[in-house]
Amino acid sequence: MSKPIVSVVGAGNVGEHVANILAINGIADVRMFDLARKTENKVFEVVKGKALDIKQMAISLGKDVNVEGFTVTPEGEGYEALEGSDIIVVTAGFPRRPGMSRDDLLSKNVGIIKVISERIKQYAPNSIVIVVSNPVDVMTYAAFKLTGFEKNRVLGMAGVLDTARFKTFLAEELNVSVKSINAYVLGGHGDDMVPVLTASNVAGIPLTDLIEQDRLNEIVERTKFGGGEIVNLMGTSAYHAPGSSAAYMVEAILKDRKEIMPCSVYLEDDDAKYYEADDIYIGVPAKLGKNGVESIEKIPLSEEERENWKKSVESVKAGINRIKELNLI
Ligand SMILES: NC(=O)C1=CN([C@@H]2O[C@H](COP(=O)(O)OP(=O)(O)OC[C@H]3O[C@@H](n4cnc5c(N)ncnc54)[C@H](O)[C@@H]3O)[C@@H](O)[C@H]2O)C=CC1
Ligand SMILES: O=C([O-])CC(=O)C(=O)O
């Protein structure tokens, strides 16, 4: 039986881990796209080598999957094999280095997203697009505008990762299984992200009953700067948890799971009214199924959380205004 096709555009650290997990889980055939690597006297088609290696890894684990690599150019040549993709995960672009914010990547990465979005529109007009490249909320907004796809078919990955970080620190603190923890991190994927304490609990017990406020504040701060912590340790950004988070979203869509998870999604109408943010991509709980984003949930926020939420909206809006000023969307 033929499997769904997931394309991964940008097969660097994050992209290859997305491909890796999808192949190990055996739930989709994977197509990977990346630039050639040029040295003084040789051009390496690294993406083809990575695809072959990942396919052989999956086969060594007894999985019958196809994984193929395609070399593309920055100008947008070589994307024909996007045709037939059910889902496209976009991880192409520059990662940050120590001392940088995610927003520092905006002007370099938006040009890359522009070319890729045009090719997605051309070759895979019915696909669902999951953007990972940073600053992710702004890049997802750009992909939405540039593909012209319906809002349910364009979403960004961040909240699954931020929530996994929050859960990691809570599980360590309380010595409980992550399965007993319900937690949500919403807002933009930047330093202003909003861990929603009022909606987070362990076996139904509010976090504030389990952890002293000062310690809880430390955990919240560590979560908000969780990406930066890894950048400072590795000199580049995280890729195992980002890769698995994107793969988790892919699987929820392919398996029509109707699972609610925080994703960067487009807010308008009723959702915009509730979240006080219109014409924006930002992290809120969303139900993922075969149609992509099938609904957006309105999570209750305390007064303090709503104030923090508003700050996060302002930073994402500033990024969106910057790409509008660059006349790239
Ligand atoms: N949303 C999130 O939570 C996260 C986002 N990220 C972002 O994901 C992006 C990728 O990160 P890494 O994989 O660590 O970086 P990386 O540098 O390892 O990989 C990026 C890949 O994109 C490719 N690329 C660059 N320009 C391209 C173009 N025009 N067309 C096709 N491919 C192109 C590069 O050749 C490279 O292989 C970064 O922007 C990073 O900030 C990373 C982790 C989490
Ligand atoms: O920190 C970064 O730049 C990459 C990222 O978004 C994350 O790991 O949260």
Q: What is the ipTM of this complex?
A: 0.99
Q: Is the pLDDT of residue 281 over 80?
A: yes
The reply, when asked if residue 215 is annotated as ligand binding, is: no
Ligand 1 centroid to 239 CA: how many Å?
10
pLDDT tens per residue, range 235-264:
999 999 999 999 999 999 999 999 999 999
Which CATH number does the domain housing residue 173 bear? 3.90.110.10
Rounded to an integer, what distance in angstroms lies between the CA atom of residue 242 and that of residue 111? 22
| Together in a domain, 170 and 132 | no
Check residue 327 and give its pLDDT. Answer: 87
| Together in a domain, 102 and 214 | no
- Choosing from 145, 167, 189, 317, the catalytic residue is 189
Confidence of residue 328 (pLDDT cuts 50, 70, 90): confident
- The total number of structural domains in the chain stands at 2
Domain boundary among 128, 156, 184: 156
| Together in a domain, 143 and 165 | no
The reply, when asked if residue 204 is annotated as ligand binding, is: no
| Together in a domain, 151 and 166 | no
Would residue 189 show up in a list of annotated catalytic residues for this protein? yes
Computed over every residue of the chain, the mean pLDDT equals 97
pLDDT tens per residue, range 130-148:
999 999 999 999 999 999 9
Which CATH number does the domain housing residue 70 bear? 3.40.50.720
Domain boundary among 156, 175, 206: 156
| Together in a domain, 151 and 163 | no
Mapped onto helix, strand or coil, the DSSP state of residue 7 is strand
Check residue 96 and give its pLDDT. Answer: 97
Confidence of residue 10 (pLDDT cuts 50, 70, 90): very high
Confidence of residue 88 (pLDDT cuts 50, 70, 90): very high
Q: What angle do CA 314, 113, 315 make, to 5 degrees?
A: 10
CA nearest ligand 1 atom 38, residue: 95
Rounded to an integer, what distance in angstroms lies between the CA atom of residue 146 and that of residue 129? 12
The reply, when asked if residue 102 is annotated as ligand binding, is: yes
| Together in a domain, 182 and 60 | no
Nearest to 117 by CA among 10, 273, 41: 10
Check residue 215 and give its pLDDT. Answer: 98
Check residue 138 and give its pLDDT. Answer: 98
Question: Looking at residues 151-158, what average pLDDT do you find?
Answer: 98
| Together in a domain, 198 and 141 | no
Cis peptide before 135 (omega within 30 of 0): yes
| Together in a domain, 166 and 305 | yes
Domain boundary among 156, 180, 211: 156
Q: How would DSSP label each residue in 209-244?
A: HHS-HHHHHHHHHHHHTHHHHHHHHHSS---HHHHH
* Ligand 2 site-directed mutation target among 100, 102, 222, most atoms within 8 Å of CB: 102
| Together in a domain, 69 and 195 | no
| Together in a domain, 125 and 198 | no
Domain that holds residue 46: 5-156
| Together in a domain, 94 and 218 | no
Contact by Cβ (8 Å): 282, 271 = no
Of all ligands present, the nearest one to the C-alpha of 243 is 1
CA nearest ligand 2 atom 8, residue: 227
Of all ligands present, the nearest one to the C-alpha of 119 is 1
pLDDT tens per residue, range 95-132:
999 999 999 999 999 999 999 999 999 999 999 999 99
| Together in a domain, 96 and 149 | yes
Confidence of residue 2 (pLDDT cuts 50, 70, 90): confident
